[in-house]
Amino acid sequence: MNEHTEIARAKVNLNLKILGKREDGFHAMETRMAPISLADRLKFTPSDEFTLECKKEGVPLDESNLVTMAVRIFQRETGKACAYRVKLEKLVPHGAGLGGGSGDAAATLRALNHLEGTELAMDVLADWAGEIGSDVPFFVYDSVCDCSGRGEMVDPIEWPHVLDALLLKPSFGVSTPAAYKSWRNSEEIAGVDYATQFMPWGEFFNDLERPVFQKHRFLAEMKMWLLQQDEVAAAMMSGSGSTMIAILHDPQTADNLKQRAMAELDASLWAAAVKIG
Q: Does residue 11 carry a catalytic annotation?
A: yes
* 135 belongs to the catalytic site: yes
H helices within 48-99, ranges in order?
A: 66-78
Rg (CA), the chain: 19
Distance CA 189, CA 43 (A): 45
What gap in Å lies between CA 94 and CA 91, rounded to an integer? 9
**What are the start-end ranges of the H helices in the chain?**
66-78, 100-115, 122-129, 136-141, 176-181, 209-215, 217-227, 254-264
CB atoms within 10 A of CB 269: 17
Catalytic position from the list 40, 135, 142, 207: 135
Which of these is catalytic: 11, 169, 223, 258?
11
Residues 93 and 77 sit within 8 Å (Cβ to Cβ): no
Helix (H) or strand (E) run with residue 237 in it: strand 232-237
Among all residues, which ones are annotated catalytic? 11, 135
